[in-house]
């Protein structure tokens, strides 16, 4: 089931309900984003929906909202409806918005960005221009969001947003074995645990001084002591309490570390 915030448009809700179950909930008032659902494996997803002009007109507010919602789902998305371009589309009327967010003014990066809402029938009735940050800075911001775990998806309009949400919802209800994307090229990552420095030191010492300490016995010592100085300060009885370490090996080890017994 997809949870939809109480203030999201009814037309999106109606379209979603034609495909999957959906329920209206006070998501924003409880610090969740505009759309929320769970996947097959229990992973939770949430989506913040913005119009292109709404986003460009106040990026600081959009980021603040993402911060508020960020920790309440495992996976976060930002949905942006419409076009964002560095140049105007010829023949389309433009409404100029001169208001600029304070932090953007301080950056001194004045440049116009043009935003267009695309109707479900494909028509663009007008555009909005904003004196704001250059599009390269917008790309950089979107990149940093992605690195922080918030991916941005663009849709043409509200009908495409509804379709996207239902497709992603249905996709996340499948068990892992039913997903085939990049299946032939993605290989499991093999992580080789690096030996602990103390473990390596003990094994090298054993080899050099014929102490009879293998990996298992060395690990037993590592579980009880933090470094070679800690071992050197111990007495025979303390060392022999480590599993597999008798008094004979304990005496040899302390002697190798310079202790006079």
- Write the secondary structure of 24-41 as one string of H (helix), E (strand) and C (coil): EECCHHHCCCCEEEECCC
DSSP assignment of 71-122 = GGSSEEEEEEESEEESSPPTT--EEEE----HHHHHHT--EEEEEEPPPTTS
Contact 54, 43 (CB under 8 A): no
Q: Is residue 168 part of a domain?
A: yes
Predicted pLDDT of residue 131: 83
Q: Does residue 23 fall inside a structural domain?
A: yes
* 104 domain residue, yes or no: no
Farthest CA pair distance, the chain:
95
For residues 239 and 248, give the distance between their C-alpha atoms in angstroms, rounded to a whole number.
10
Query: Which residue range is the domain that position 159 belongs to?
Result: 2-83+137-178
Domain for residue 12, yes or no?
A: yes
State the Cα torsion 245-248-253-259 to the nearest 10°: 130
Q: Coil, helix or strand for 218? A: helix
CB neighbours of 101 closer than 8 A, spacing ≥ 6? 58, 59, 60, 61, 132
Name residues of the chain where pLDDT drops below 70: 98-110, 183-195
**Phi and psi dihedrals of 71, rounded to 5?**
-85, 0
Q: CATH no. for residue 49?
A: 3.40.50.10130
Q: Is residue 132 in some structural domain? A: no
A 10 A CB-CB count for 207 gives: 11
At residue 213, φ and ψ (nearest 5 deg) are: -105, 115
Same structural domain, 217 and 152:
no
CA separation for the pair 32, 65 (Å, rounded): 9
Position 102 scores a pLDDT of 41
Same-domain pairing of 154 and 226: no
- Fill in the DSSP letter of residue 259: -
Q: Is the domain of 15 the same as that of 64?
A: yes
Residue 77 lies in a domain: yes
Same domain? 79 vs 161: yes
**What pLDDT score was predicted for residue 101?**
47
Residue 194 has a pLDDT of: 53
pLDDT score for 208: 86
- What confidence score (pLDDT) does residue 128 get? 92
User: Quick one: 170 and 232 in the same domain?
Assistant: no
- HSE, side-chain direction, 13 A CA sphere, residue 57: 16
pLDDT in tens, 60-79: 999 999 999 999 999 999 99
Shared domain check, 142 and 78: yes
- Count of domains forming the chain: 2
Q: What is the CATH number of the domain that holds 225?
A: 1.10.150
Angle at 120 between CA 119 and CA 126, to 5 degrees: 5
- Shared domain for 235 and 171, answered yes or no, is no
> CA 236 to CA 239: how far, in whole Å?
5
Q: Is residue 108 part of a domain?
A: no
């Amino acid at each position: 089931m997809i949870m939809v915030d109480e203030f999201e448009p009814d037309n999106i809700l109606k379209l979603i309900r034609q495909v999957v179950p959906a329920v209206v909930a006070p998501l924003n008032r409880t610090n969740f984003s505009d759309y929320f659902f769970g996947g097959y494996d229990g992973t939770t997803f949430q989506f913040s929906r913005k119009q292109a002009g709404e986003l460009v007109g106040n990026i600081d507010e959009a980021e603040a909202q993402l911060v508020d919602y960020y920790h309440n789902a495992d996976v976060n998305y930002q949905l942006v409806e419409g076009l964002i371009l560095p140049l105007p589309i010829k023949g389309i009327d433009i409404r100029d918005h001169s208001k600029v967010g304070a932090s953007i003014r301080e950056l001194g990066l004045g440049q116009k960005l043009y935003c267009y809402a695309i109707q479900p029938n494909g028509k663009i009735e007008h555009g909005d221009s904003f004196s704001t940050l250059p599009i390269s800075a917008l790309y950089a911001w979107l990149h940093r969001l992605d690195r922080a775990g918030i991916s941005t998806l663009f849709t043409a309009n509200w009908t495409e947003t509804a379709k996207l949400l239902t497709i992603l919802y249905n996709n996340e209800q499948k068990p892992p074995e039913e997903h085939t994307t990049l299946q032939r090229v993605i290989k499991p990552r093999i992580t080789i645990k690096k030996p602990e420095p103390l473990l390596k030191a003990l094994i090298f010492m054993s080899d050099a001084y014929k102490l009879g300490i293998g990996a298992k016995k060395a690990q037993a010592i590592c579980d009880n002591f933090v470094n070679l100085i800690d071992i050197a300060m111990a007495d025979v009885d303390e060392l022999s309490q480590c599993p597999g370490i008798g008094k004979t090996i304990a005496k040899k080890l302390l002697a190798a570390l310079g202790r006079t017994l």
